[in-house]
Amino acid sequence: MIEISKVSKVFGSGDAAVAALKDVDATIQENEFFTLLGPSGCGKTTLLRLIAGFDHPTGGTIRLAGDDITYLPPNKRPVNTVFQNYALFPHMTVAGNIAFGLEMLGQSKTQIAETVDKMLDLVQMQALRNRYTTEISGGQQQRVALARALAPQPKVLLLDEPLSALDLKLRKEMQIELKRLQSETGITFVFVTHDQEEALTMSDRIAVMRDGHILQVGSPRDIYNHPVDRFVADFIGETNFLTARVAGKKVKLTSGDVIAAGDVSRHGEGAEVTVAVRPEQVRIGEAGAKGGIAATVNQTVYFGTDTHIHLKLGDGSDLVARLQSPPSGESGLSQGAAVSVQFTDGAVQVLES
Amino acid sequence: MSTSLEKQRARDGWLLSAPALVLLVFAAAGPLLIVATYAFLTPGDYSGVVWDFTLKAWFQVLFERDIFDDSISMADAHLSIFWRSIRLSLLTTILTFLFGLPTAWFIATRPAKQRAAWLFLITIPFWTNLLIRTFAIMEVIRYDGLLNKALLGIGLIETPLRIMYTDTAVLIGMTYVYLPLMVLPMFAAIDRLDIRLIEASYDLYATRLKVLTKIILPIVRPGIIAGSILVFVPSIGAYVTPRVLGGGKKMMVGNFIELQFGAGRNWPLGAALSLILLLIVSVALIFYVRVSTRSDSDG
């Protein structure tokens, strides 16, 4: 659907030149919910603006359904955008905003009225159709922005952190809503966010970006369970990092314990590696349990559904375990208690050191 | 307790607004009342008024009585002066808008650091006396002035243009003098315009022309209206510019009123003309307000 090849973007020139994107390659499939995820300044919004046509790349090409659209202006692309703060037209009503793109395309009045009606139903804004966009709430503005961008039936919908201005509860609702809209309309969504949870819950595939590069592209499960490097593992969810050396098909932690880990065949015997394990894959048992790693409880933090247990291993390295909170809310693990720790099979990932 | 506190508050309120009230009474309401009264009195022999109630001044605005046969006819000269004033003021408003919009846009889209400098350049003429500015424009447009020399120089014309003492001269002068009054409110409006609205409309298939007419102009409309009022109101009452650039022949209402209080020695007529000018301005203002509120309610 969208083929991004060798795309680079440099802002400014001379000494002040800043490379926002460096030779980025990506392919976005038809009907896909594709997310660009990364911290601020990673180039994700720049990439989105290049696809929208607001900026043009310094190098490389962007193709849409086989056509080269690299230098096409935004009004010539079958691509619409939902802006971060919605950018609704303040001098038009809700219905007027939704109709705008259709009017610009020169559609007939009856056709426009029909589509606007359909869109108002789709985002459940029928009751507020004649309100001005300054008179409705943030969540409602969000829906109007979506309807406005979907009305011309673009091939691709671009969403630039559209949920960041909403409060937590509304954000969760809109996450589900967006997913529903995407599957109902069958339009390719390209979604930009810095919120890893948002990315994980909605996306078909995620591209994790940093410093103008795409580090990894994969399904949420892929990215979460098999991060390619320390940055990805750290950015997506919480992770424990432990230093280890390859010992046969296993790894030996600095604490001296030998544990099973993912594929170590890339690394030579004795090579130093970092292993990553998610807190929810850490199990805590009674001290001295067979095959367990000795640890002491340093602190317990209660999060409602979960309780985080901060542990210290034999060599002083930190490890966090996430346990489901029992009905009483008391984990029964007091500070200083000696325990043993085990990792779920296949949960330990080996990263480049 | 609470009622005495309220009384105290009310008294303080009056005290605090006293300077404004004094100013309103002495600077606005008082003089206006004097003008309104004089319009219904009889002119004195050398100047001033005689306290003798008559509607003669109002009659003189529209009609004139022939001194030989006492026949009554329309005062065409008076009407043409009013018509010229309205026409030139409207044209000035339109011209300042056409030059002012790109100027305001240019300034509003400069980096924040440069904007102050550009705005300063726009306001520099305000620091100069109006009379001097008008004479400066005269230097440009007179028979052997800069404009003619330049046009002759590049061979665009073969004989110099006679611009001085025409309506065109007055129009050029007023456009120059009042341009900043159009630029500043439009700059403020464009400065507040969210650039993403332009991107959004461009994204929704609008052409550049549609972006201008459907998004930019409607949103900066309050600035355009404010600028138009700020230019139209002083234009229609302009005195110095038409006097210097229009000479004695191309009078505007302001000059005509001055004539009545000076050489004409007809204060009541001057007062009546002033009130009519006030009426025209008020009608224009009400019209502007109507236009601006209507656009708010039908989108």
Tokens of A182: 């995407």
To which residue do tokens 């025209």 refer? B280
DSSP letter, residue B125: G
Long-range contacts of the stretch B138-144 (C-beta < 8 A, 24+): B138/B164, B138/B173, B138/B244, B138/B245, B141/B169, B141/B172, B141/B245
The phi, psi pair for A304, rounded to 5°, reads 90, -100
Task: Check if B197 contacts A (Cβ < 8 Å).
Answer: yes
More confident residue, A291 or B257: B257
Task: Check if B193 contacts A (Cβ < 8 Å).
Answer: no
To which residue do tokens 């969403």 refer? A159
Q: What is the pLDDT of residue B188?
A: 93
> Chains A and B: how many Cβ contacts under 8 Å?
65
Single out the residue of A45, A62, A2 nearest to residue A162, CA to CA: A45
Q: What is the pLDDT of residues B250-282, one digit of tens each?
A: 789 999 999 999 888 899 999 999 999 999 999
What is the average pLDDT score of chain A? 90
Rounded Cα distance between A136 and A94, Å, is 9
Tokens of A126: 């029928």
- A180 and A252 both lie in a single domain: no
Rounded Cα distance between B222 and B114, Å, is 25
More confident residue, A271 or A81: A81
Cβ–Cβ under 8 Å, residues A345 and A260 = yes
Q: What is the pLDDT of residues A93-129, one digit of tens each?
A: 999 999 999 999 999 999 999 999 999 998 889 999 9
Integer-rounded Cα radius of gyration of chain B: 24
Distance, in angstroms, between A74 CA and closest chain B CA? 5
Which residues are CB-neighbours of A28 under 8 A, at least 6 positions away?
A1, A2, A3, A4, A34, A156, A188, A190
- A190 and A49 both lie in a single domain: yes
Rounded Cα distance between A172 and A198, Å, is 8
- Chain B hits for A74, Cβ within 8 Å: 199, 202-203
Q: What is the pLDDT of residue B1?
A: 53
Q: Report, as an integer, the average pLDDT of A258-278.
A: 84
Which residues are CB-neighbours of B106 under 8 A, at least 6 positions away?
B118
Domain count, chain A: 2
Give me the residue from B197, B202, B205 closest to A89, CB to CB. B197
CATH code of A121's domain: 3.40.50.300
DSSP letter, residue A319: E
Of A210, A231, A252, the last residue of a domain is A231
Cβ–Cβ under 8 Å, residues A54 and A87 = no
Integer-rounded Cα radius of gyration of chain A: 25
The alpha helices in chain A, defined as continuous H runs, are 44-52, 94-104, 109-122, 138-150, 168-185, 196-202, 220-225, 230-235
CB contact under 8 A, B203 and A81: yes
Tokens of B15: 């005290």
Which residues are CB-neighbours of B100 under 8 A, at least 6 positions away?
B179, B182, B183, B186, B227
Q: Report, as an integer, the average pLDDT of A220-246.
A: 90
CATH code of A259's domain: 2.40.50.140
- A225 and A333 both lie in a single domain: no
Q: What is the pLDDT of residues A29-79, one digit of tens each?
A: 999 999 999 998 899 999 999 999 999 999 999 999 999 999 999 999 999
DSSP letter, residue A74: G
Rounded Cα distance between B103 and B227, Å, is 13
Cβ–Cβ under 8 Å, residues B299 and A91 = yes
Give me the residue from B202, B204, B218 closest to A91, CB to CB. B218
Predicted-complex ipTM score = 0.81
**Cβ of A146: how many Cβ atoms within 10 Å?**
25
Angle ∠(A52,A55,A59) on CA atoms, nearest 5: 105
Four-residue CA torsion sign, A131, A134, A137, A141: positive
- A82 and A198 both lie in a single domain: yes
- A197 and A297 both lie in a single domain: no
Percent of chain A at pLDDT > 90 equals: 55
A232: left (phi > 0), else alpha (psi -120 to 50), else beta?
alpha
Q: Report, as an integer, the average pLDDT of A239-253.
A: 88
Q: What is the pLDDT of residue A103?
A: 95
Q: What is the pLDDT of residue B199?
A: 94
| CA count, 13 A, side-chain hemisphere, B234 | 17
Q: What is the pLDDT of residue B248?
A: 74
- A299 and A161 both lie in a single domain: no
Residues spanned by the domain of A173? 2-231
pLDDT-flagged residues of chain B (< 50): 296-299
Q: What is the pLDDT of residue B299?
A: 39
Single out the residue of A190, A207, A220, A194 nearest to residue A32, CA to CA: A190
Model pTM above 0.90: no
Q: What is the pLDDT of residue B295?
A: 52
- Chain B hits for A96, Cβ within 8 Å: 299
- A182 and A275 both lie in a single domain: no
With H, G, I as helix, E, B as strand and everything else as coil, classify residue B284. Answer: helix
Domain ranges of chain B: 1-38, 75-297
| CATH match for B75-297 among 1.20.1530.20, 1.10.3720.10, 1.25.10.10, 3.30.450.20 | 1.10.3720.10
DSSP letter, residue A3: E
CB contact under 8 A, A81 and B201: no
105-134 in chain A: CB under 8 A from chain B: 105, 132
Q: Report, as an integer, the average pLDDT of A297-317.
A: 89
CB contact under 8 A, B200 and A54: no
Partnered with residue B65 across adjacent β-strands are B72
Rounded Cα distance between A220 and A268, Å, is 30
- A175 and A217 both lie in a single domain: yes
Q: What is the pLDDT of residue B273?
A: 93
- What does each C-alpha distance from B203 to A161, A182, B200 come to in angstroms? 17, 20, 5
CB contact under 8 A, B295 and A85: no
Cβ–Cβ under 8 Å, residues A292 and A341 = yes
Give me the residue from A83, A87, A96 closest to B299, CB to CB. A96
